[in-house]
């Protein structure tokens, strides 16, 4: 048996058509179902549905053989015990630095010295700015980062952007690009050895479905 870990929300919505093309259809509607483990049309494949940020953990400990995980989540997680096998080319967005419009007008990123940043991506933010020799005071949030500069919690945020509508609605503007993001197929290192044959066949089907 092979378990694939997915997360509710956008990754699930975009994963289902991809999995269908790979011949894997859940036996019940995962978008509405409250079940967390669901069998599929493939007799040897089960889907497990968890929080996006928990996918690397389930895969690392072998509770799932494969996972669909956002690159943003993977960058935040040290890669131990995981193989990043394949860019699934879904749930695409960008990780960026944003600040209020009125600051951006007279702000020059080349002069940044010490930044107060609110984000869910503490590790990635620290790594990004440390590499450029810029000091940061990072404030960890779990969501609604766009609010932080509006109420004086931080000067800037590091967050994901897709259409840019959320930034715009909150008077924020992108001032620096950190990374392009999409969901990746990840595998447990031990499963990759022990279940080599069935896993390889499944990965190959997913690879075809991405194309």
CB of 120 vs ligand PRT, minimal distance in Å: 8
Contact window for ligand PRT (CB under 6 A) among 24-32, 68-76, 132-140, 197-205: 68-76
Locus of tokens 């015990």: 81
Where does the chain show beta strands of DSSP type E?
Answer: 2-7, 37-39, 45-50, 66-70, 82-87, 93-100, 114-119, 135-140, 156-161, 172-181, 183-188
Select 77 or 129, whichever has its Cβ closest to ligand PRT.
Answer: 77
Select 42 or 156, whichever has its Cβ closest to ligand PRT.
Answer: 156
Provide, for the chain, the percentages of residues in helix, strand and coil under a 3-state DSSP scheme, each rounded to the nearest 5: 35, 35, 30
Q: What part of residues 182-211 is at the interface with ligand PRT (CB under 6 A)? A: 183
Report residue 100 as tokens: 């209020």
Q: Of these, 48, 52, 88, 98, which contacts ligand PRT (CB under 6 A)?
A: 52
Select 7 or 136, whichever has its Cβ closest to ligand PRT.
Answer: 7
Q: Does 126 bind ligand PRT (CB under 6 A)?
A: no
Select 75 or 202, whichever has its Cβ closest to ligand PRT.
Answer: 75
Residue 32 DSSP SS3: coil
Report residue 2 as tokens: 């092979």
How far apart are the two ends of the chain, measured CA to CA in Å?
25
CB of 1 vs ligand PRT, minimal distance in Å: 25
CB of 101 vs ligand PRT, minimal distance in Å: 16
Give the span between the Cα atoms of 205 and 193, in whole angstroms: 18
Q: Of these, 65, 72, 76, 99, which contacts ligand PRT (CB under 6 A)?
A: 72
Q: Does 70 bind ligand PRT (CB under 6 A)?
A: yes
CB of 186 vs ligand PRT, minimal distance in Å: 13
Q: Which whole-number Å values give the CA distances from 144 to 103, 166, 200, in the listed order?
A: 20, 10, 39
Q: Does 171 bind ligand PRT (CB under 6 A)?
A: no
CB of 195 vs ligand PRT, minimal distance in Å: 26
Q: Are 5 and 64 in contact (CB under 8 A)?
A: yes
Q: 144 φ, ψ to 5°?
A: 45, 45
Q: Which residues bind ligand PRT (CB under 6 A)?
A: 7, 9-11, 51-53, 70, 72-73, 91, 93, 159-166, 181, 183
């Amino acid at each position: 048996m092979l378990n694939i870990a997915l997360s509710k929300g956008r990754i699930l919505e975009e994963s289902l058509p991809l999995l269908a093309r790979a011949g894997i259809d859940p036996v019940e509607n995962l978008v509405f179902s409250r079940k967390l483990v669901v069998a599929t049309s493939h007799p040897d494949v089960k889907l497990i549905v968890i929080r996006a940020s928990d996918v690397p953990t389930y895969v690392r400990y072998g509770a799932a053989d494969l996972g669909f995980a956002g690159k943003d989540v993977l960058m935040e997680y040290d890669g131990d015990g995981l193989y990043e096998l394949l860019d699934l080319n879904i749930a695409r967005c960008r990780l960026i630095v944003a600040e209020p419009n009125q600051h951006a007008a007279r702000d020059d990123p080349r002069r940044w010295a010490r930044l107060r940043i609110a984000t869910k991506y503490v590790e990635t933010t620290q790594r990004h700015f440390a590499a450029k020799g810029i000091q940061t005071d990072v404030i960890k949030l779990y969501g609604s980062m766009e609010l932080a500069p509006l109420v004086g919690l931080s000067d800037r945020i590091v967050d994901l952007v897709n259409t840019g509508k959320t930034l715009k609605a909150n008077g924020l503007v992108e001032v620096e690009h950190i990374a392009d993001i999409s969901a990746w197929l990840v595998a447990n290192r031990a499963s990759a050895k022990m279940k080599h044959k069935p896993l390889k066949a499944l990965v190959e089907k997913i690879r075809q479905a991405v194309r």
